[in-house]
Amino acid sequence: MVLMIGPVEEMLARIVETTGAAHLTLIDPDSQSPEVAGRMAKAAAEGGTDAIMVGGSVGAAGRALEDTVRAIKEESKLPVILFPSGVSGLCSNADAVFFMSLLNSRNVSYLIENQALGAPLVYRYHLEPIPMAYVIVEPGGTVGWVGDAKLIPRSKPELAAAYALAGKYFGMRMVYLEAGSGANEPVPPKMVATVKRALGDALLILGGGIRSGEAARDLVAAGADLIVTGTGVERSEDVEGFVHEITSAIKGS
């Protein structure tokens, strides 16, 4: 059987294999105008980011979403991956979508319902689906609340590993450990190491609370393959410099 891995996923896997880690910049269409989002993407590209994720828990939909994706594509050549919180987080002008299930949600909407209702749109829009297990760790932030997640305690790496392994056995080729956007601290490196040991060659994405090259480097050293930063980019007055700090810390480490 031939696995249908699309070009964006293949590109990310190749970057991880050749440089040791990849960096994704998260842009929430609800946080700034499309023009500003386009400028942020351009600066992030100059800082060495590998792809732009577009999404958010509240308000990342409709016109704001489409115009933000368009502006990003006008300003950079980077692939745009949707990071939807539901069906409304899909649009036709992106390249790919993290086709994800929030495995530790208590709500069937985030486990399978939005995915079933969104699948025909993914097909119609010719978006590349990248199968991904999404697992939210304390403190979880807005996405933890919106997604009705039974948060993984920070002191229980084995629980995170159990969910990650379940995702891998479902055939998801990526697992995203999420501390929640704007978290005070990232997921603990010890948890990352335990999860990566269980996952083997499935790719491990880390996001939430990563604000420095040093924090990103510690996570990659523990086993993270892809690092996501949103708030740090959003708040930075020097987006290129901030992204460069992270990318130079994780590549080749």
Q: Which is nearer to ligand 1GP, 134 or 161 (CB)?
A: 134
Q: C-beta of 232: minimal distance to ligand 1GP in Å?
A: 5
Nearer to ligand 1GP among residue 79 and residue 83 (C-beta) = 83
- Closest to ligand 1GP by CB, 143 vs 175, is 143
In order of 102, 116, 172, the CA distances from 119 in angstroms are 16, 5, 16
- Minimum Å gap between C-beta 3 and ligand 1GP is 27
- What does each C-alpha distance from 53 to 61, 68, 80, 145, 208 come to in angstroms? 14, 11, 6, 21, 14
State in angstroms the smallest separation of the CB of 4 from ligand 1GP. 26
Q: What number of CA atoms fall less than 13 Å from residue 198's CA on the CB side?
A: 20
Nearest-approach distance from CB 143 to ligand 1GP, in angstroms: 6
DSSP 242: H
**Nearest residue to ligand 1GP, by Cβ distance, number only:** 207
CB of 35 to ligand 1GP, least distance (A): 21
Q: Of 120 and 241, which CB lies nearer to ligand 1GP in the complex structure? A: 241
Around Cβ 101, how many Cβ atoms within 10 Å?
Answer: 19
| Chain positions contacting ligand 1GP, by CB under 6 A | 26, 143, 178, 181-183, 207-210, 228-232
CB nearer to ligand 1GP: pick between 7 and 241:
241
CB nearer to ligand 1GP: give 105 or 181. 181
Tell me how far apart the alpha carbons of residues 250 and 244 are, in angstroms, rounded to a whole number.
10
Q: How many residues does the chain have?
A: 253
Residue 107: φ, ψ to 5°:
-110, 125
What's the CA gap between 3 and 40, in Å, rounded? 34
- Cα dihedral 110/116/122/124 (nearest 10): -150
Query: CA 143 to CA 201: how far, in whole Å?
Result: 27
CB nearer to ligand 1GP: pick between 72 and 210: 210
Q: How far is the CB of 26 from ligand 1GP (least distance, A)?
A: 5
CA atoms within 13 A on the CB side of 14: 8
CB of 53 to ligand 1GP, least distance (A): 8
